[in-house]
Structures are given as C-alpha cells and as structure tokens.
Amino acid sequence: MDQVKSFREIIHKGSGFLWCLLSFAIPLDKRFIPLLILLLFLQSMLTMNFKVGYQSFRRHFLLKVMLLFFILHVTGLLYTHNITVGITDVTLKLSLIAFPLILAGNQNMTARFYNLIFLSFVLGCITASLICLGHAAYVYFTTKRITFFYSELSVFHHPSYFAMYLNFATVLIFSRIRHIISLRSTINLFYFILVLLLSFMIILLSSKAGILTNAFVLVYFFLLNIRNRNFRMINIVFAALAGFIYFVTFNFIISKDYERIQQSEQTIMTPSIIDSSAVESTAVRLLVWKAAKEVISESLPFGVGTGDEKDILLKKYAEKNYKKPLEGSLNAHNQFLQTTIGIGIPGLMVLLTLFFYSLVSGVRKRDFVLVMFVIITGFNFLTESMLETIAGVVFFSFFLTLLTTMPQKEKT
C-alpha cells in the first residue's frame, strides 16, 4: 500500500510539469498537444479521488455546460450523412471534456501552480514569436525575400490564431503589472517592454481581428488604471509608445497591409455591392456568412448533423457561384454560425451560455483575466471557426477550464 501511495505521489508531482509543458506548447508545435493531453488524462485517472473529483465537477456549472456541448456534437452523429468527418470532429472536440476531467483529478492546485501555467504560456508565446522572427530574418539574409508579414511570418499557426494567443499573453502580463505596486521596479519595465513587443508582433501578423483586439486590450488597460495614481505617469508614457509603434508600423513598415485593412473597411461599408467572384478576405467572409445563414434557415432547428457542415456549405457555394469559398473549401468562418449549421439552435444556445455565463461571472468577481479571455475568444469566434481546429479548441477549453475553476483568491 505504501508503494502504491508513493507511486501516486510521484505521478501527481509530475502533473505540474505536464500542465506547464502543455501550456508552453500551445503557441508552438501543435503536433505534441494530443500526446500531452493524453499523458495528463492518464495521470489524472491514476491519482484521482473519484468521489472528490465528482463533487468538484458538480460544483462548477460551466464544466457541465462544456460536457453538454460535447454531447450535442456526439448526438449530431445520429443524423449526419458524413459519419467519417463527424467522428473526426467529435474526436477533435474531446478536449472540451478532457480538461474538466483532468482538473477534477488534480485537487491540490495552488496559486503558484496556476501562475506557473500562465507564465509557461507567456514564455511559449515569446519563444514562438522569436522563432518566427528569426526564421523570417534567416530567409531574408539567405534569399533576400521578405517574409516578415502575415502567414509567411507565422510558421506555427494561422496568423489569426497566433495573434489571439499573443493578445491573451498580453492580458496575462497586464494582470501581473496590476499586482505590482512599485512602478520603479525593473520587472515592471520589463513587462511593459514585453507588451510592446507582442503588440508589434501582432501588427506584423496582419490579422485584422488580432490588431483590433490588441488595440482594445491596450485601451482597456489604459482606462482601467487611468485613475490609479501609481499608474498615471507610466500609463501616459505607455499609451504614447503604443500609439507611436502603431503609427510607424502601419505607415512605414506594412503599408501594403494597411491598404488591405482599408479595403476591408470599404467592403464592410458597402456589403451590398460584393461580387460573387470577390477574392478580398473580408468580402469572401461576407459571402460565406450569407451562404451559412441560408443553410441555417434550411436546416432548423437541429442543424445538418456533426460532419455535414462543410459538405452542405460547399453545395451552397456552388449553387450561388461563390468561386473563392468553393475553391478554398471554406468553413463558415464564424464559430457561432458553424455550430448552428452543425447542431442547430440547441448547440448555439449552449455555446452562447458558455460565453455569457463566463462574462457575467468575470464581471461580478472583477476578474480582469477571465473577462478579457471571453472578449478575445468571442471576437475571434466572430471571424473564425475556432473550434474546428486543434489550435482553437484546445486553447479555448484549456484556459476556460482553468479560469472558471480557479479560486478567486488565487487569481493573478
């Protein structure tokens, strides 16, 4: 018995390393993520006190909502035509229930434990950014080809996903700054420099959603602390530097991508004149959303089934002669629309519950990190089908599970 107890203690201590390693790996190579989740799950099952774990699961409303969301996707297999793709989709979403179960098996998580997980993610984002910049520099010096922008810069993820990670890392850094009273400390200056560097990287990624989100995060932090005497002077200096970086980057470094953003603004202002052969990304999204809404209206109330979403969308693109969406086999590029197409109104209601309950909970508890996480992911859900890729679903389920189950006194 003593040997078994000793074995369980060793495994339990190793879980902290696995949590941090997974958090560090999310912004980097996603090929290792399924293995790390599996190892965490096995560790949790070996050390879990099932009675305590069950009680912990019952206490947290959002974990039950995540389970229901997953069950709805499994139920969607009953009326899908493409069962192969459906099973793949359900497998992809296993993390929606994996992380709540894993967390239930780790009952002795301290404030230091959570801080290390968040720190690991920030370090992962910084490491990924440096690798991307280093790769772009190497390409430039060896071939004279400029790859410092958009998808050519982001070697690990789609720019929208990477920008989302960097924005959340910025929020985590801001959360540390708010808890450091001495603004003369070297560590505080280091944090602000990191925020500026991450913002610069987000601009280079040229993700329109990422840039808008980053601007919101910076302005929100500025307004949140404008009345704080300790932050007043550094707030002004930081705002000036951030504005300067945005101005210089847009006007002298990525002027071509700035033109792309201006084109997007024009498209949004005049959506009625978009041609079915449009190729500009915002125009294409508007076409995709129009097709998605028609599919939804034709498949209410339970959707087309888990796995049939893309097949039905492609038929609709062909029917409406939407060339670019058809050629690219594009999904709905909006997670709320994507979910409604697949599992109907019930799925949409559960997904919205996840967001609104988390947002209300964060506001009531004055939890800056949770509120910003909901805003960042929610905004990105409007322009990407984030839960249809491992990069999106793992990030969302991993941090939502941690942030909504962490005791308030332990939040950073």
Q: What is the pLDDT of residue 259?
A: 54
Question: Which pLDDT score, from 0 to 100, does residue 3 have?
Answer: 46
User: What integer pLDDT is reported at residue 247 of this predicted model?
Assistant: 65
The pLDDT score that the predictor gives to residue 412 is 46
Place of tokens 């939804």: 296
Q: Prior bond to 325 cis, omega within 30?
A: no
Q: Report the alpha-carbon distance of residue 267 to residue 231 in Å, rounded.
A: 39
Tokens linked to 275? 């041609």
**Model pLDDT, residue 275:** 60
- With 0-12 / 13-18 / 19 or more C-beta atoms within 10 angstroms meaning exposed / middle / buried, residue 253 is middle
Q: What is the pLDDT of residue 7?
A: 47
Q: Do the beta carbons of residue 252 and residue 261 sit within 8 Å?
A: no
Q: What pLDDT, on a 0 to 100 scale, did the predictor assign at position 346?
A: 96
- Report the predicted TM-score, pTM, of the whole model to 2 decimal places: 0.88
Q: What span, in angstroms and rounded, lies between the C-alpha atoms of 204 and 219?
A: 19
Give, in degrees to the nearest 5, the angle at Cα 196 between 195 and 198: 65
Q: Which residues contact 34 (CB under 8 A, 6 or more apart)?
A: 390
Residue 179 DSSP symbol: T
**Segment-wise mean pLDDT, segments of 10 residues, the chain, 412 residues:** 49 73 92 88 72 67 89 95 93 90 69 87 96 94 88 91 96 79 61 86 88 86 70 63 65 54 51 58 85 93 93 93 88 94 96 94 90 95 93 95 74 48
CB 203 within 8 A of CB 254: yes
What is the reported pLDDT for 146?
87
